[in-house]
Structure 1
Amino acid sequence: MTDVLIAGGGPVGLFLGSLLLQHGVTVRVLERRTGRNAHTRAIGIHPPALAALERIGVTQELIGRGVPIRQGFAVSNGRKIACMPFAPVSDRYPFVLAVPQPVTEEVLERRLRELDGGALVRDARVTGMHDDGSRVTLSVTIAGAASGHSAAFAVGADGAYSTVRTLLGVAAPEKLYPDHYLMGDFPESSPFGSDAALFLESDGIVESFPLPGGVRRWVVRLGSPPARPDAEQLAGLVASRTCVALDPGANTMLSSFSVRSRLAARMVSGRTALVGDAAHEISPIGGQGMNLGWLDAEALLPAILAVVRGGPSAEALRRFDAGRRRAAAAAARQAEVNMALGRPLPAGLLRPRNAAIAGVAAIPAFNALVARRFTMQ
């Protein structure tokens, strides 16, 4: 018996668990993995998410272990054509923070365990659920042993292939895009230091972001998915499009992905809510996904408190569902703009397009507006 069961112990589930524990709500976070994610996937934390993470007291540690990106450059044919400073987007956090996902999960897990050492249950797989109108019961297999867990409320934070969403029968149609990417981390060899760089080239975009420890991430758009991720191929593409040399033998992370999106038909079903990728999967280009999940969790908190404390909750849950679905749709549109910007263009169209970008960037009001949109303001 507990107040809230959270399926999924990634960054979003861990954050929501800590938020609830700080309000005196008993929580169990059920995570199928036996250990933390070892891969540096999501890296960017935007200002609204930094403000949300401050509510559980982890923001300053994350800043200390990350790289604040205070500006980004648009580059084409070896020339900087635009600069986007992030100073106008937030008085408190005028930057996008680059932190490896394993570090983020480590900090969030430690905070959860500080609040309740038994809150996180690993090797736990949800296999069934039942909502009788007053409580939700999850069937769970923990380390191979079947058990039942009951709570006043349940949350699915279990990713794009959410078991909870499937058990609820919530539709989430998949949309596929003609965009494929190869990305990897290499020792810093660019002239950009702690700045981000977007190389707008005729063969497609190359994105580059700093990481702690003298490491830099490179993301290259491809016309088709690679047969397998290859550091030599990635280094060759970066060199041909940007003239920056990478050492394939020093690569520390390598991945490829094709883009899809989905938005759940609803984020609330009875006494269960969906958050993060379980509710909405959007393109990783722009780095909004993890941040969107944290903001879901923050918005869900008042509704959960109303449920577990026996107060009126139906309207709070309705507002959460409508508001966060709108936010997810807006994020998906922004991601589509980001992807369109990075698609190949013939030189005859690339030059005027880039000239237009340079012109807009030279107008402070427009530059600040674009920076706010880019950082999820």
Structure 2
Amino acid sequence: MPDSPDAEARLRDVIIVGAGPVGMMLACQLAVRGLDIVVVERRTEPSLLSRAIGIHPPGLRALEQIGVLDDLLADAVKISEGEVSCDGALMGRLSFTRVGGRHPFVAALPQYETESLLRARFAQLCPGGLREGVTVSGLLDQGDRVELHTTDVGSGTESGVRSFCGRFVVGADGARSRVRAAAGIGWRTYGRGASYLMADLADRGVRSSTARLFFERAGVVESFPLPAGRRRWVALTESLMLDSSVSDLAALIRDRVGEDAVGRGGGTTPDGADGASDVARAAGDRRAPASAFAVQQRLADRMVSGRVVLVGDAAHEISPIGGQGMNLGWLDAVALAPVLELALQPGPSDQRAAAAARAAAALAGYERTRLRAARMAVRQAGFNMAMGRPATGIRLTARNALVRTLALPPTRGLLARAFTMRWL
């Protein structure tokens, strides 16, 4: 049974802000360790948008640790290889089956299905531990605990104002993190931005376990298999193409790649990102909206401030080109869970100073290693984005030569490891 409202004021071990895939991964990682946690989430209903789809081997290991992997793999598509082409010519192929490990593939599943599995697992581990419809209005770090001030969504009365109290507060509330802002942590932009158009379309039946990259003269087009006979298509655009339709994306793909991504039947399911219409309404309608989105990479100045800690997009906004963002956040959660467990271990009063010092050192180590991983991810995503930009003349020739070289031994194996995030 859920706690009563009066129980909100009790001191928790950890308060997690944000019930997206990263917040729920951390919640499960902490719950299996027996910690007392609560998750607060602004949304009143889970998102049904596809967003992140690629789950790399390190992410699969994280799912295995919390007992979710088997259920996820039962629904996911296993991507075993990737190929790169330009002007209709194959330039290289990467096999993920040769990189070793227990999971030599990338699993593809829409984010809302992954979130559903994580939420269901958390409900088993910590019944009533999720508070929805709660938005953060501020926080106060009191040295030995943090008081989190919240307001119920849609409430303009004092009865809708609540406070939670925890030994630690973790911000998993995305790139526009209120926790990060309330903690006064800086947020810096890195590199150039880009814009893309995306939709999930009916698969035309071409190499259903293969990720396909088209490094074309006018800009990259990417295609990834999805469950239920679908395939995600993403295309670089010159500007943010708001109000675009699936037909617009299909025409762009046809012009660059020479393939009909929609076909005469027009069956589509553009449930890709913010602004996409309902899947059932959009199915079969070429006028249904495609998802236009802008990419900009950002890093937080810090990931730890006193007893406030950041994970996922709240700490690092990584380009989705390459599929690193959600997986990187999960690895933040995997690294943070044992650190918080250590910091929360009880001990004799005469040893508290030493225990606090160990906890501070562990948190500093978490911040150092995860910021280093985030910087590496930013560099790799920046490289991916640069390779996909429009190219002609000497630049086109040089880029294609580089792609062909990287697709040959010994760099081919290193590239496969990089694209499956083995370096993390």
Which TM-score band (shorter chain)? over 0.9
Determine if the alignment matches structure 1 residue 359 to structure 2 residue 405.
yes
- Quote how far apart the aligned CAs of 1:348 are: 4.4
- Quote how far apart the aligned CAs of 1:352 are: 4.3
Residue 330 (structure 2) aligns with = 294
Determine if the alignment matches structure 1 residue 374 to structure 2 residue 419.
yes
Bigger shift: residues 347-356 or 74-83: 347-356
Superposed CA offset, 1:320-374 (max 9, x none): 00000000000000000000110111144324432332233132x2101011111
Matched length: 376
Residue 160 (structure 1) aligns with = 175
Aligned pair partner of 1:343 in 374, 389, 393: 389
- Quote how far apart the aligned CAs of 1:190 are: 5.2
Q: Distance in 2 between matches of 1:274 and 1:349?
A: 39
Determine if the alignment matches structure 1 residue 255 to structure 2 residue 291.
yes
- CA gap 1:154/1:218 in 2 versus in 1, 3 angstroms: same
Residue 320 (structure 2) aligns with = 284
Contact 1:153 1:308 in 2 (8 A): no
Superposed CA offset, 1:164-206 (max 9, x none): 0000010002346242110111101152211100011111110
Residue 315 (structure 1) aligns with = 361
Contact 1:268 1:317 in 2 (8 A): yes
Q: Distance in 1 between matches of 2:133 and 2:244?
A: 29
TM-score, normalising length from structure 2?
Answer: 0.86
Bigger shift: residues 231-240 or 352-361: 352-361
Superposed CA offset, 1:246-293 (max 9, x none): 228433113111111111111001111000000010111111000010
Residue 287 (structure 2) aligns with = none
User: Which is greater in Rg?
Assistant: 2
Contact 1:189 1:244 in 2 (8 A): no
- The share of aligned pairs that are identical, in percent, is 44
Residue 134 (structure 1) aligns with = 144
Equivalent residue letter for 2:317: E
Contact 2:193 2:297 in 1 (8 A): no
Q: What 5-or-longer segments of structure 1 have no aligned partner?
A: none
Equivalent residue letter for 2:27: G
Q: Distance in 1 between matches of 2:191 and 2:149?
A: 33
Aligned pair partner of 1:69 in 59, 79, 84: 79
Q: What 5-or-longer segments of structure 2 have no aligned partner?
A: 1-9, 271-289, 347-354
Aligned pair partner of 2:120 in 107, 110, 120: 110
Superposed CA offset, 1:48-102 (max 9, x none): 1111111101112111111010000111222222110012323201011111011
Equivalent residue letter for 2:18: G
- CA gap 1:301/1:275 in 2 versus in 1, 3 angstroms: same
Residue 238 (structure 2) aligns with = 223
Q: Distance in 1 between matches of 2:24 and 2:399?
A: 42
Superposed CA offset, 1:11-44 (max 9, x none): 0111111111111101100010011111101000
